[in-house]
Structure 1
Amino acid sequence: MVKNKWYVHPVIAVGVIINVFVMALAILWKGDQAQMWRLLVEDGIVEWMQFLCFAATSGLLAFLAVEQWQRTPKVNLQLLAFVGLSALVALAALEEVSWFQRILHIASPEYFLTHNRQSETNLHNLALGKGSLHKTILLKLIAIVGLTHNIILPLLARKRPGVQRFVESFGLYLPPLSASVIYIALVAVSHLVVDHPRKGELGEMFGAVHYMTTVFGAYFMGVGYGKPPVFEQPADARRVSTLFVMLMAFLLMTGWLLSAGAGAPQYLASHPITAPNTD
Protein backbone atom coordinates (compact mmCIF):
# COMPACT_ATOMS: atom_id res chain seq x y z
CA MET A 1 0.00 0.00 0.00
CA VAL A 2 1.31 3.44 -0.96
CA LYS A 3 1.04 5.63 2.13
CA ASN A 4 2.39 8.86 0.66
CA LYS A 5 0.28 11.98 0.66
CA TRP A 6 -2.02 12.24 -2.37
CA TYR A 7 -0.06 15.17 -3.81
CA VAL A 8 3.13 13.09 -3.84
CA HIS A 9 1.52 10.65 -6.27
CA PRO A 10 0.97 12.12 -9.75
CA VAL A 11 -2.08 9.93 -10.46
CA ILE A 12 -4.12 11.61 -7.72
CA ALA A 13 -2.58 15.04 -8.14
CA VAL A 14 -3.45 15.26 -11.85
CA GLY A 15 -7.16 14.84 -11.07
CA VAL A 16 -7.03 17.67 -8.55
CA ILE A 17 -5.16 19.90 -11.01
CA ILE A 18 -7.68 19.30 -13.81
CA ASN A 19 -10.64 20.00 -11.54
CA VAL A 20 -9.06 23.19 -10.19
CA PHE A 21 -8.27 24.28 -13.76
CA VAL A 22 -11.90 23.85 -14.90
CA MET A 23 -13.15 25.64 -11.78
CA ALA A 24 -10.78 28.51 -12.54
CA LEU A 25 -12.15 28.67 -16.09
CA ALA A 26 -15.70 28.86 -14.77
CA ILE A 27 -14.77 31.73 -12.45
CA LEU A 28 -12.80 33.52 -15.16
CA TRP A 29 -15.64 33.19 -17.69
CA LYS A 30 -18.60 33.74 -15.38
CA GLY A 31 -19.14 37.25 -16.76
CA ASP A 32 -19.20 35.98 -20.35
CA GLN A 33 -22.40 34.07 -21.05
CA ALA A 34 -21.19 32.84 -24.44
CA GLN A 35 -18.10 31.26 -22.89
CA MET A 36 -20.09 29.83 -19.98
CA TRP A 37 -22.54 28.15 -22.33
CA ARG A 38 -19.60 26.78 -24.31
CA LEU A 39 -18.27 25.33 -21.06
CA LEU A 40 -21.52 23.96 -19.61
CA VAL A 41 -23.91 23.41 -22.53
CA GLU A 42 -25.06 19.95 -23.62
CA ASP A 43 -22.12 18.34 -25.45
CA GLY A 44 -19.87 21.12 -24.17
CA ILE A 45 -16.42 20.84 -22.60
CA VAL A 46 -17.60 19.76 -19.16
CA GLU A 47 -20.12 17.19 -20.37
CA TRP A 48 -17.70 15.58 -22.81
CA MET A 49 -15.10 15.37 -20.03
CA GLN A 50 -17.69 13.62 -17.87
CA PHE A 51 -18.39 11.09 -20.61
CA LEU A 52 -14.73 10.43 -21.35
CA CYS A 53 -13.84 9.94 -17.68
CA PHE A 54 -16.85 7.72 -16.97
CA ALA A 55 -16.13 5.63 -20.08
CA ALA A 56 -12.46 5.26 -19.14
CA THR A 57 -13.32 4.40 -15.53
CA SER A 58 -15.76 1.74 -16.70
CA GLY A 59 -12.99 0.26 -18.84
CA LEU A 60 -10.57 0.29 -15.90
CA LEU A 61 -13.08 -1.52 -13.70
CA ALA A 62 -13.80 -4.08 -16.42
CA PHE A 63 -10.03 -4.68 -16.72
CA LEU A 64 -9.88 -5.20 -12.95
CA ALA A 65 -12.70 -7.76 -13.18
CA VAL A 66 -10.78 -9.74 -15.82
CA GLU A 67 -7.56 -9.43 -13.80
CA GLN A 68 -9.36 -10.59 -10.65
CA TRP A 69 -10.78 -13.62 -12.48
CA GLN A 70 -7.36 -14.54 -13.85
CA ARG A 71 -5.84 -14.32 -10.38
CA THR A 72 -8.70 -16.07 -8.59
CA PRO A 73 -11.14 -17.78 -11.00
CA LYS A 74 -14.18 -17.75 -8.75
CA VAL A 75 -17.12 -15.45 -8.08
CA ASN A 76 -16.51 -13.36 -4.95
CA LEU A 77 -17.40 -9.91 -3.63
CA GLN A 78 -14.37 -8.31 -5.28
CA LEU A 79 -15.32 -9.63 -8.71
CA LEU A 80 -18.98 -8.69 -8.29
CA ALA A 81 -17.97 -5.18 -7.20
CA PHE A 82 -15.78 -4.67 -10.28
CA VAL A 83 -18.40 -6.02 -12.70
CA GLY A 84 -21.29 -4.13 -11.09
CA LEU A 85 -19.44 -0.83 -10.84
CA SER A 86 -18.15 -1.13 -14.41
CA ALA A 87 -21.72 -1.57 -15.70
CA LEU A 88 -23.02 1.27 -13.52
CA VAL A 89 -20.34 3.72 -14.65
CA ALA A 90 -20.83 2.71 -18.29
CA LEU A 91 -24.53 3.52 -17.89
CA ALA A 92 -23.63 6.92 -16.43
CA ALA A 93 -21.32 7.61 -19.39
CA LEU A 94 -23.99 6.79 -21.98
CA GLU A 95 -26.64 8.74 -20.10
CA GLU A 96 -24.42 11.82 -20.14
CA VAL A 97 -24.48 11.96 -23.94
CA SER A 98 -28.05 10.59 -24.25
CA TRP A 99 -26.70 7.40 -25.82
CA PHE A 100 -25.14 9.48 -28.66
CA GLN A 101 -28.62 10.53 -29.79
CA ARG A 102 -27.70 14.15 -30.49
CA ILE A 103 -24.42 13.27 -32.20
CA LEU A 104 -26.08 10.69 -34.47
CA HIS A 105 -29.19 12.85 -35.02
CA ILE A 106 -31.58 10.12 -33.86
CA ALA A 107 -35.13 11.27 -33.09
CA SER A 108 -36.55 10.37 -29.68
CA PRO A 109 -39.30 7.72 -29.52
CA GLU A 110 -42.79 8.94 -28.62
CA TYR A 111 -42.46 7.80 -25.00
CA PHE A 112 -39.41 9.96 -24.35
CA LEU A 113 -40.91 12.94 -26.20
CA THR A 114 -43.81 12.75 -23.76
CA HIS A 115 -42.14 11.74 -20.50
CA ASN A 116 -38.58 13.10 -20.73
CA ARG A 117 -38.13 16.70 -19.55
CA GLN A 118 -35.64 17.35 -22.34
CA SER A 119 -37.41 15.15 -24.93
CA GLU A 120 -34.23 13.05 -25.12
CA THR A 121 -33.64 9.32 -25.05
CA ASN A 122 -32.23 8.97 -21.55
CA LEU A 123 -33.43 7.81 -18.16
CA HIS A 124 -32.10 10.45 -15.77
CA ASN A 125 -34.27 13.24 -17.20
CA LEU A 126 -37.53 11.30 -17.06
CA ALA A 127 -40.25 13.43 -15.50
CA LEU A 128 -40.99 12.67 -11.87
CA GLY A 129 -43.66 14.92 -10.41
CA LYS A 130 -42.65 18.55 -10.97
CA GLY A 131 -39.01 17.64 -11.44
CA SER A 132 -36.98 14.88 -13.02
CA LEU A 133 -35.61 11.56 -11.79
CA HIS A 134 -32.16 13.17 -11.78
CA LYS A 135 -33.09 16.12 -9.58
CA THR A 136 -35.68 14.46 -7.37
CA ILE A 137 -33.83 11.26 -6.48
CA LEU A 138 -30.42 10.77 -8.11
CA LEU A 139 -28.78 14.03 -7.00
CA LYS A 140 -29.78 13.42 -3.37
CA LEU A 141 -28.55 9.83 -3.52
CA ILE A 142 -25.26 10.88 -5.14
CA ALA A 143 -24.75 13.56 -2.45
CA ILE A 144 -25.31 11.06 0.40
CA VAL A 145 -23.08 8.38 -1.13
CA GLY A 146 -20.42 10.93 -2.12
CA LEU A 147 -20.15 12.50 1.33
CA THR A 148 -20.16 9.10 3.05
CA HIS A 149 -17.51 7.61 0.77
CA ASN A 150 -15.25 10.65 0.53
CA ILE A 151 -15.51 12.27 3.96
CA ILE A 152 -17.27 10.22 6.64
CA LEU A 153 -15.68 6.81 6.05
CA PRO A 154 -12.11 8.13 5.47
CA LEU A 155 -12.39 10.17 8.67
CA LEU A 156 -13.58 7.11 10.61
CA ALA A 157 -10.81 5.01 9.07
CA ARG A 158 -8.16 7.37 10.46
CA LYS A 159 -9.10 6.39 14.00
CA ARG A 160 -10.45 2.93 13.30
CA PRO A 161 -8.35 1.07 10.68
CA GLY A 162 -10.93 -1.70 10.73
CA VAL A 163 -13.29 0.58 8.79
CA GLN A 164 -11.00 0.52 5.76
CA ARG A 165 -10.60 -3.25 5.98
CA PHE A 166 -14.39 -3.61 6.19
CA VAL A 167 -14.91 -1.43 3.09
CA GLU A 168 -12.22 -3.30 1.16
CA SER A 169 -13.79 -6.64 2.09
CA PHE A 170 -16.66 -5.69 -0.24
CA GLY A 171 -14.24 -5.04 -3.11
CA LEU A 172 -14.40 -1.26 -2.62
CA TYR A 173 -11.79 1.35 -1.61
CA LEU A 174 -11.54 4.64 0.25
CA PRO A 175 -10.15 7.67 -1.63
CA PRO A 176 -7.44 9.83 0.00
CA LEU A 177 -9.13 12.21 2.44
CA SER A 178 -7.13 15.27 1.34
CA ALA A 179 -8.08 14.82 -2.33
CA SER A 180 -11.69 14.16 -1.33
CA VAL A 181 -11.88 17.37 0.71
CA ILE A 182 -10.69 19.35 -2.32
CA TYR A 183 -13.27 17.59 -4.52
CA ILE A 184 -16.15 18.36 -2.15
CA ALA A 185 -14.89 21.93 -1.67
CA LEU A 186 -14.82 22.51 -5.44
CA VAL A 187 -18.40 21.25 -5.75
CA ALA A 188 -19.47 23.67 -3.00
CA VAL A 189 -17.58 26.59 -4.57
CA SER A 190 -19.12 25.88 -7.98
CA HIS A 191 -22.60 26.20 -6.49
CA LEU A 192 -21.80 29.32 -4.46
CA VAL A 193 -19.73 31.29 -6.98
CA VAL A 194 -21.05 30.33 -10.42
CA ASP A 195 -24.38 31.85 -11.43
CA HIS A 196 -25.57 29.69 -14.29
CA PRO A 197 -28.59 27.38 -14.78
CA ARG A 198 -26.29 24.48 -15.63
CA LYS A 199 -23.67 25.00 -12.92
CA GLY A 200 -24.46 21.53 -11.52
CA GLU A 201 -22.56 20.06 -14.48
CA LEU A 202 -19.32 21.27 -12.88
CA GLY A 203 -19.84 19.15 -9.78
CA GLU A 204 -20.63 16.11 -11.92
CA MET A 205 -17.42 16.58 -13.88
CA PHE A 206 -15.40 17.03 -10.69
CA GLY A 207 -16.79 13.70 -9.50
CA ALA A 208 -16.03 11.92 -12.79
CA VAL A 209 -12.40 13.10 -12.73
CA HIS A 210 -11.98 12.45 -9.01
CA TYR A 211 -13.23 8.89 -9.24
CA MET A 212 -11.26 8.04 -12.36
CA THR A 213 -8.01 9.07 -10.70
CA THR A 214 -8.74 7.56 -7.28
CA VAL A 215 -9.95 4.27 -8.78
CA PHE A 216 -6.72 4.03 -10.77
CA GLY A 217 -4.66 5.19 -7.81
CA ALA A 218 -6.14 2.63 -5.41
CA TYR A 219 -6.55 -0.51 -7.47
CA PHE A 220 -3.66 -0.09 -9.91
CA MET A 221 -1.08 1.84 -7.84
CA GLY A 222 -2.07 0.90 -4.28
CA VAL A 223 -2.57 4.51 -3.10
CA GLY A 224 -4.18 4.15 0.33
CA TYR A 225 -5.29 0.62 -0.56
CA GLY A 226 -4.69 -2.35 1.72
CA LYS A 227 -4.74 -5.13 -0.89
CA PRO A 228 -2.08 -5.85 -3.55
CA PRO A 229 -2.47 -3.46 -6.51
CA VAL A 230 -2.18 -4.44 -10.17
CA PHE A 231 1.28 -2.88 -10.47
CA GLU A 232 3.31 -3.93 -7.44
CA GLN A 233 6.76 -3.29 -8.86
CA PRO A 234 7.88 0.34 -8.31
CA ALA A 235 9.43 0.67 -11.77
CA ASP A 236 6.26 -0.55 -13.51
CA ALA A 237 4.08 1.66 -11.31
CA ARG A 238 6.19 4.72 -12.14
CA ARG A 239 5.97 4.14 -15.89
CA VAL A 240 2.23 3.50 -15.83
CA SER A 241 1.64 6.56 -13.65
CA THR A 242 3.38 8.72 -16.23
CA LEU A 243 1.22 7.26 -19.00
CA PHE A 244 -1.90 7.86 -16.92
CA VAL A 245 -1.04 11.53 -16.39
CA MET A 246 -0.59 11.88 -20.14
CA LEU A 247 -3.95 10.15 -20.70
CA MET A 248 -5.77 12.58 -18.38
CA ALA A 249 -4.30 15.57 -20.22
CA PHE A 250 -5.33 13.96 -23.51
CA LEU A 251 -8.90 13.42 -22.27
CA LEU A 252 -9.22 17.09 -21.33
CA MET A 253 -7.93 18.14 -24.75
CA THR A 254 -10.29 15.66 -26.45
CA GLY A 255 -13.29 16.95 -24.52
CA TRP A 256 -12.39 20.48 -25.56
CA LEU A 257 -12.06 19.49 -29.22
CA LEU A 258 -15.32 17.52 -29.21
CA SER A 259 -17.16 20.52 -27.77
CA ALA A 260 -15.82 22.67 -30.61
CA GLY A 261 -16.88 20.16 -33.24
CA ALA A 262 -20.22 18.45 -33.65
CA GLY A 263 -21.35 18.92 -30.05
CA ALA A 264 -21.85 22.34 -28.51
CA PRO A 265 -22.19 24.36 -31.76
CA GLN A 266 -25.07 22.17 -32.94
CA TYR A 267 -26.84 22.44 -29.60
CA LEU A 268 -26.39 26.20 -29.39
CA ALA A 269 -27.60 26.62 -32.96
CA SER A 270 -30.96 25.13 -32.01
CA HIS A 271 -31.22 26.50 -28.44
CA PRO A 272 -31.12 30.17 -27.44
CA ILE A 273 -28.20 31.14 -25.23
CA THR A 274 -30.59 32.12 -22.46
CA ALA A 275 -32.22 28.69 -22.36
CA PRO A 276 -33.28 27.91 -18.77
CA ASN A 277 -32.61 24.18 -19.14
CA THR A 278 -30.87 22.98 -15.98
CA ASP A 279 -31.04 19.20 -16.22
Structure 2
Amino acid sequence: MNTLTRTERLGYSLLLLVYALGIYFANTDLVYFDTVITKEDGFAEYGTALMLFCISVLCIARLIKIGGAKPALWKLGIVGMALIFLFGAGEEISWGQRIFGIESSEYFLENNAQQETNLHNMVVGETKINKLIFSQILTAVLVIYLLIVPVLYRKTTWLKGLAEKFAVPVPRWNHTIGLLLATGLLEFMKASSRRWELYEFAFGIIFFLIFINPLNGYIFKKN
Protein backbone atom coordinates (compact mmCIF):
# COMPACT_ATOMS: atom_id res chain seq x y z
CA MET A 1 0.00 0.00 0.00
CA ASN A 2 1.37 3.42 -0.98
CA THR A 3 2.17 6.03 1.64
CA LEU A 4 -0.78 8.32 2.32
CA THR A 5 -0.59 11.83 0.93
CA ARG A 6 -1.02 14.83 3.20
CA THR A 7 -4.54 15.36 1.85
CA GLU A 8 -5.44 11.74 2.59
CA ARG A 9 -4.07 11.98 6.12
CA LEU A 10 -6.13 15.12 6.74
CA GLY A 11 -9.24 13.57 5.22
CA TYR A 12 -9.01 10.36 7.23
CA SER A 13 -8.21 12.27 10.41
CA LEU A 14 -11.32 14.40 10.00
CA LEU A 15 -13.41 11.35 9.26
CA LEU A 16 -12.01 9.50 12.29
CA LEU A 17 -12.81 12.47 14.54
CA VAL A 18 -16.38 12.77 13.24
CA TYR A 19 -16.98 9.04 13.59
CA ALA A 20 -15.51 8.99 17.10
CA LEU A 21 -17.89 11.77 18.15
CA GLY A 22 -20.74 9.97 16.42
CA ILE A 23 -20.07 6.68 18.19
CA TYR A 24 -19.72 8.40 21.54
CA PHE A 25 -22.94 10.39 21.34
CA ALA A 26 -24.92 7.59 19.68
CA ASN A 27 -24.27 5.55 22.80
CA THR A 28 -24.43 8.25 25.48
CA ASP A 29 -26.79 10.98 24.25
CA LEU A 30 -29.01 9.90 21.37
CA VAL A 31 -30.92 13.18 21.33
CA TYR A 32 -27.67 15.12 20.80
CA PHE A 33 -26.61 12.64 18.12
CA ASP A 34 -29.87 13.09 16.22
CA THR A 35 -30.35 16.83 16.71
CA VAL A 36 -26.77 18.09 16.52
CA ILE A 37 -24.30 15.56 15.06
CA THR A 38 -26.55 14.29 12.26
CA LYS A 39 -29.35 16.86 12.16
CA GLU A 40 -31.00 17.99 8.94
CA ASP A 41 -29.02 20.91 7.47
CA GLY A 42 -26.19 20.12 9.88
CA PHE A 43 -22.45 19.58 9.62
CA ALA A 44 -22.64 16.07 8.18
CA GLU A 45 -25.18 16.93 5.49
CA TYR A 46 -23.49 20.13 4.39
CA GLY A 47 -20.10 18.43 4.58
CA THR A 48 -21.28 15.70 2.24
CA ALA A 49 -22.70 18.23 -0.22
CA LEU A 50 -19.46 20.22 -0.10
CA MET A 51 -17.31 17.17 -0.85
CA LEU A 52 -19.50 16.15 -3.79
CA PHE A 53 -19.46 19.70 -5.12
CA CYS A 54 -15.65 19.82 -4.80
CA ILE A 55 -15.38 16.64 -6.88
CA SER A 56 -17.50 18.26 -9.58
CA VAL A 57 -15.36 21.40 -9.52
CA LEU A 58 -12.19 19.28 -9.67
CA CYS A 59 -13.49 17.51 -12.78
CA ILE A 60 -14.29 20.80 -14.50
CA ALA A 61 -10.90 22.23 -13.52
CA ARG A 62 -9.16 19.25 -15.09
CA LEU A 63 -11.26 19.60 -18.21
CA ILE A 64 -10.26 23.25 -18.53
CA LYS A 65 -6.60 22.65 -17.71
CA ILE A 66 -5.78 19.63 -19.84
CA GLY A 67 -8.96 18.79 -21.74
CA GLY A 68 -7.73 20.41 -24.93
CA ALA A 69 -5.10 17.72 -25.36
CA LYS A 70 -7.45 14.84 -24.58
CA PRO A 71 -9.74 12.83 -26.89
CA ALA A 72 -13.52 13.28 -26.99
CA LEU A 73 -14.34 10.24 -24.85
CA TRP A 74 -12.03 11.47 -22.07
CA LYS A 75 -13.87 14.80 -22.10
CA LEU A 76 -17.21 13.01 -22.14
CA GLY A 77 -16.23 10.99 -19.08
CA ILE A 78 -15.06 14.06 -17.18
CA VAL A 79 -18.22 16.04 -17.98
CA GLY A 80 -20.39 13.06 -17.06
CA MET A 81 -18.74 12.66 -13.66
CA ALA A 82 -18.88 16.41 -13.01
CA LEU A 83 -22.63 16.37 -13.65
CA ILE A 84 -23.20 13.25 -11.53
CA PHE A 85 -21.46 14.70 -8.48
CA LEU A 86 -23.04 18.12 -8.97
CA PHE A 87 -26.42 16.37 -9.02
CA GLY A 88 -25.48 14.48 -5.84
CA ALA A 89 -24.48 17.70 -4.09
CA GLY A 90 -27.70 19.42 -5.10
CA GLU A 91 -29.85 16.48 -4.01
CA GLU A 92 -28.10 16.33 -0.64
CA ILE A 93 -29.30 19.83 0.27
CA SER A 94 -32.56 19.66 -1.75
CA TRP A 95 -31.07 22.16 -4.21
CA GLY A 96 -30.84 24.85 -1.54
CA GLN A 97 -34.57 24.78 -0.86
CA ARG A 98 -34.30 25.02 2.92
CA ILE A 99 -31.36 27.43 2.73
CA PHE A 100 -33.34 29.93 0.66
CA GLY A 101 -36.72 29.14 2.19
CA ILE A 102 -38.31 27.97 -1.08
CA GLU A 103 -41.65 26.22 -0.80
CA SER A 104 -42.13 22.84 -2.51
CA SER A 105 -44.56 22.65 -5.42
CA GLU A 106 -47.79 20.69 -5.05
CA TYR A 107 -46.27 17.77 -6.97
CA PHE A 108 -43.40 17.36 -4.52
CA LEU A 109 -45.68 17.87 -1.53
CA GLU A 110 -47.77 14.94 -2.71
CA ASN A 111 -45.06 12.61 -4.04
CA ASN A 112 -41.98 13.29 -1.94
CA ALA A 113 -41.55 11.39 1.34
CA GLN A 114 -40.10 14.51 3.02
CA GLN A 115 -42.15 16.99 0.94
CA GLU A 116 -38.93 18.48 -0.43
CA THR A 117 -37.79 19.40 -3.92
CA ASN A 118 -35.49 16.49 -4.64
CA LEU A 119 -35.64 13.18 -6.48
CA HIS A 120 -34.08 10.76 -4.00
CA ASN A 121 -37.00 11.05 -1.57
CA MET A 122 -39.65 10.57 -4.24
CA VAL A 123 -42.24 7.82 -3.83
CA VAL A 124 -43.58 6.05 -6.92
CA GLY A 125 -46.54 3.90 -6.00
CA GLU A 126 -45.32 2.01 -2.96
CA THR A 127 -41.65 2.24 -3.93
CA LYS A 128 -39.29 4.75 -2.36
CA ILE A 129 -36.73 5.89 -4.93
CA ASN A 130 -34.21 6.44 -2.14
CA LYS A 131 -34.44 2.80 -1.04
CA LEU A 132 -34.31 1.38 -4.56
CA ILE A 133 -31.68 3.53 -6.26
CA PHE A 134 -29.72 5.23 -3.51
CA SER A 135 -29.53 2.13 -1.30
CA GLN A 136 -29.74 -1.09 -3.28
CA ILE A 137 -28.35 -0.01 -6.65
CA LEU A 138 -25.75 2.36 -5.19
CA THR A 139 -24.56 -0.37 -2.82
CA ALA A 140 -23.99 -2.72 -5.76
CA VAL A 141 -22.12 0.01 -7.66
CA LEU A 142 -19.90 0.73 -4.65
CA VAL A 143 -19.02 -2.94 -4.23
CA ILE A 144 -18.05 -3.22 -7.89
CA TYR A 145 -16.14 0.06 -7.95
CA LEU A 146 -14.24 -0.29 -4.67
CA LEU A 147 -13.59 -4.05 -4.60
CA ILE A 148 -13.75 -5.47 -8.10
CA VAL A 149 -12.48 -2.61 -10.28
CA PRO A 150 -9.12 -2.19 -8.43
CA VAL A 151 -8.43 -5.93 -8.81
CA LEU A 152 -9.37 -6.12 -12.48
CA TYR A 153 -7.50 -2.89 -13.21
CA ARG A 154 -4.30 -4.48 -11.95
CA LYS A 155 -4.83 -7.75 -13.83
CA THR A 156 -6.45 -6.84 -17.15
CA THR A 157 -5.54 -4.47 -19.93
CA TRP A 158 -9.10 -3.95 -21.19
CA LEU A 159 -10.31 -2.34 -17.96
CA LYS A 160 -7.17 -0.25 -17.72
CA GLY A 161 -7.80 1.00 -21.23
CA LEU A 162 -11.46 1.68 -20.49
CA ALA A 163 -10.65 3.71 -17.38
CA GLU A 164 -8.05 5.67 -19.32
CA LYS A 165 -10.43 6.27 -22.24
CA PHE A 166 -13.27 7.68 -20.09
CA ALA A 167 -11.10 9.34 -17.40
CA VAL A 168 -12.43 7.11 -14.61
CA PRO A 169 -10.29 7.30 -11.43
CA VAL A 170 -9.50 3.92 -9.87
CA PRO A 171 -9.46 3.66 -6.05
CA ARG A 172 -6.30 2.81 -4.18
CA TRP A 173 -6.53 0.14 -1.50
CA ASN A 174 -6.46 2.72 1.29
CA HIS A 175 -9.65 4.22 -0.18
CA THR A 176 -11.34 0.82 -0.28
CA ILE A 177 -10.27 -0.01 3.26
CA GLY A 178 -11.38 3.42 4.46
CA LEU A 179 -14.94 3.03 3.21
CA LEU A 180 -15.15 -0.57 4.43
CA LEU A 181 -14.15 0.60 7.92
CA ALA A 182 -16.66 3.44 7.74
CA THR A 183 -19.32 0.88 6.85
CA GLY A 184 -18.39 -1.45 9.70
CA LEU A 185 -18.25 1.30 12.31
CA LEU A 186 -21.90 2.13 11.65
CA GLU A 187 -22.73 -0.89 13.81
CA PHE A 188 -21.59 1.13 16.82
CA MET A 189 -24.22 3.77 15.99
CA LYS A 190 -27.15 1.49 15.22
CA ALA A 191 -29.26 3.03 17.97
CA SER A 192 -30.07 5.85 15.53
CA SER A 193 -31.48 5.67 12.02
CA ARG A 194 -29.72 8.98 11.31
CA ARG A 195 -26.31 7.29 11.41
CA TRP A 196 -26.51 7.14 7.62
CA GLU A 197 -25.83 10.86 7.51
CA LEU A 198 -22.31 10.11 8.76
CA TYR A 199 -21.95 7.33 6.21
CA GLU A 200 -22.82 9.75 3.43
CA PHE A 201 -20.20 12.11 4.86
CA ALA A 202 -17.64 9.29 4.74
CA PHE A 203 -18.66 8.58 1.15
CA GLY A 204 -18.10 12.22 0.22
CA ILE A 205 -14.66 12.47 1.82
CA ILE A 206 -13.34 9.17 0.50
CA PHE A 207 -14.57 9.76 -3.04
CA PHE A 208 -12.96 13.19 -2.97
CA LEU A 209 -9.69 11.49 -1.95
CA ILE A 210 -10.09 8.98 -4.78
CA PHE A 211 -10.48 11.75 -7.34
CA ILE A 212 -7.57 13.72 -5.89
CA ASN A 213 -5.15 10.78 -5.82
CA PRO A 214 -6.38 7.79 -7.85
CA LEU A 215 -4.34 4.71 -8.65
CA ASN A 216 -4.31 5.78 -12.29
CA GLY A 217 -3.44 9.41 -11.66
CA TYR A 218 -1.53 9.60 -14.93
CA ILE A 219 -4.82 9.96 -16.83
CA PHE A 220 -5.12 13.47 -15.38
CA LYS A 221 -1.75 14.62 -16.65
CA LYS A 222 -0.99 16.26 -19.97
CA ASN A 223 0.13 13.90 -22.72
Q: Which has the higher contact order (CA 8 A, sep 6+)?
A: 1
Over 3 Å counting, the alpha-carbon distance change for 1:130 and 1:185 in structure 2 is: farther
Distance 1:40 1:172 in 2: 31
Superposed displacement of residue 14, structure 1: 2.4
Map of 2:31 onto structure 1: 34
1:176 aligns to 2:172 (yes or no): yes
Verify the 8 A CA contact 2:178 2:206 in the aligned structure 1: no
Query: Per-residue displacement from partner, 1:147-196 (whole Å, max 9, x unpaired)?
Result: 11111111233444654343223221211012212212212321x22121
Verify the 8 A CA contact 1:187 1:203 in the aligned structure 2: yes
Over 3 Å counting, the alpha-carbon distance change for 1:23 and 1:93 in structure 2 is: same
1:145 aligns to 2:141 (yes or no): yes
Q: CA RMSD in A?
A: 2.1
Map of 2:118 onto structure 1: 122
Question: Unaligned 5+ residue runs, structure 2?
Answer: none
Over 3 Å counting, the alpha-carbon distance change for 1:188 and 1:128 in structure 2 is: farther
Map of 2:65 onto structure 1: 67
Verify the 8 A CA contact 2:66 2:221 in the aligned structure 1: no
Corresponding pairs, count:
220
Distance 1:98 1:91 in 2: 10
The structure with the largest helix share of the pair is: 2
Verify the 8 A CA contact 2:66 2:222 in the aligned structure 1: no
1:215 aligns to 2:206 (yes or no): no
The DSSP-based 3-state class of the residue aligned with 2:169 is coil
Verify the 8 A CA contact 2:55 2:208 in the aligned structure 1: yes
1:112 aligns to 2:108 (yes or no): yes
The DSSP-based 3-state class of the residue aligned with 1:106 is coil
Verify the 8 A CA contact 2:114 2:121 in the aligned structure 1: yes
Verify the 8 A CA contact 2:78 2:167 in the aligned structure 1: yes
Superposed displacement of residue 197, structure 1: 1.6
Distance 1:154 1:81 in 2: 18
Distance 1:231 1:210 in 2: 25
The DSSP-based 3-state class of the residue aligned with 2:194 is coil
Over 3 Å counting, the alpha-carbon distance change for 1:131 and 1:209 in structure 2 is: same
- Give 1:23's aligned amino acid: Y
Over 3 Å counting, the alpha-carbon distance change for 1:228 and 1:78 in structure 2 is: closer
Map of 1:225 onto structure 2: 216
1:193 aligns to 2:184 (yes or no): no
TM-score, normalization by structure 2: 0.89
Distance 2:82 2:148 in 1: 24
Superposed displacement of residue 230, structure 1: 4.2
Query: Per-residue displacement from partner, 1:181-216 (whole Å, max 9, x unpaired)?
Result: 2212212321x2212121112221111111112101
- Give 1:182's aligned amino acid: G
The DSSP-based 3-state class of the residue aligned with 1:16 is helix
Distance 2:21 2:164 in 1: 36
Map of 1:23 onto structure 2: 19
Verify the 8 A CA contact 2:97 2:117 in the aligned structure 1: yes
